[in-house]
């Protein structure tokens, strides 16, 4: 094995992740270089390297690729200035001309079984439903309905993953809420939606 590759990989891992005021399920994983604030992540989800996730609730079985940005603070665009020197809180610029309270930050919601591609950006306050796929590099500014595929900048609806009947049945089943033993029992049918639904 190439020693330079191994050494580089070790250095990448050694950076660690910065997580504060957040709850990450013990079965989930946050890769190094990622920064998570005021957020939750349910079971068997992961976020890749160098992600920034702020004020976000993430469901189960989610796959979040490298460099994804979700949520974050918003500047008050209805004020005369958007600069942080006019509102309360610690910021990059130390000087404060005033310390007015900003509007509360919005919470972003990511459902279960969601796949978000590399370097996608999700605007604060957006709701992403169960089973959604978001293409790499997408900029999501609107809510997304269950089992839809969106991509682009700004992100647009591409198609649904399944037909309406299958989607309705999956939403009713909410398989991702089953316990581990049940999921293990039905996992052999995971490649065939109809067989999977019928078995359950």
Q: Are residues 156 and 171 in the same domain?
A: no
Tens of each residue's pLDDT in the chain, 200 residues = 687 777 777 777 777 788 999 999 999 999 999 999 999 999 999 999 999 999 999 999 999 999 999 998 888 888 998 888 988 887 788 889 988 888 888 999 999 999 999 999 999 999 999 999 999 999 999 999 999 999 999 999 999 999 999 999 999 999 999 999 999 999 999 999 999 999 98
Q: Residue 1 has what pLDDT?
A: 61
Q: Are residues 97 and 169 in the same domain?
A: no
The token duo for 184 is: 């293990």
pLDDT tens by residue, 164-189: 999 999 999 999 999 999 999 999 99
Q: Are residues 122 and 145 in the same domain?
A: yes
Q: Are residues 100 and 111 in the same domain?
A: no
Distance (Å, whole) CA 47 – CA 64: 4
Distance (Å, whole) CA 53 – CA 66: 12
Which residues neighbour 124 within 8 Å (Cβ) at sequence distance 6 or greater? Answer: 54, 55, 71, 72, 73, 74, 105, 106, 107, 108
Q: Name the pTM for this structure.
A: 0.89
Q: Residue 68 has what pLDDT?
A: 98
Q: Are residues 129 and 185 in the same domain?
A: no
Furthest CA-CA distance within the chain: 64
Domain count, the chain: 3
Q: Are residues 155 and 200 in the same domain?
A: no
Q: Are residues 97 and 179 in the same domain?
A: no
Q: Are residues 186 and 168 in the same domain?
A: yes
Q: Are residues 12 and 111 in the same domain?
A: yes
Q: Are residues 67 and 9 in the same domain?
A: yes
Q: Are residues 90 and 184 in the same domain?
A: no
State the catalytic residues.
75
Q: Are residues 92 and 117 in the same domain?
A: no
Distance (Å, whole) CA 59 – CA 9: 29
Here the CATH number for the domain that contains residue 65 is: 2.160.10.10
> Domain range spanning residue 129?
1-71+106-161
């Amino acid at each position: 094995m190439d020693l330079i590759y191994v050494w580089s990989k070790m250095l990448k891992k050694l950076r660690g992740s910065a997580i504060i005021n957040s709850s990450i399920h013990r079965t989930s994983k946050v890769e190094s270089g990622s920064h998570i604030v005021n957020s939750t992540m349910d079971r068997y989800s992961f976020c890749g390297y160098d992600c920034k996730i702020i004020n976000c609730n993430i469901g189960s079985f989610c796959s979040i690729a490298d460099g994804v940005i979700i949520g974050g603070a918003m500047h008050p665009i209805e004020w005369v200035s958007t600069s942080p020197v006019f509102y309360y809180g610690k910021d990059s610029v130390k000087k404060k001309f005033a310390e007015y309270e900003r509007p509360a930050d919005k919470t972003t919601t990511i459902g279960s079984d969601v796949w978000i591609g590399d370097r996608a950006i999700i605007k604060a306050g957006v709701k992403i439903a169960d089973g959604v796929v978001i293409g790499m590099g997408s900029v999501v500014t609107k809510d997304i309905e269950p089992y839809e595929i969106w991509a682009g900048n700004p992100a647009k609806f591409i198609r649904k993953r399944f037909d309406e009947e299958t989607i309705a049945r999956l939403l009713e089943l909410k398989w991702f809420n089953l316990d581990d033993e049940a999921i293990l029992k039905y996992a052999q049918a995971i490649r065939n939606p109809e067989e999977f639904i019928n078995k359950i």
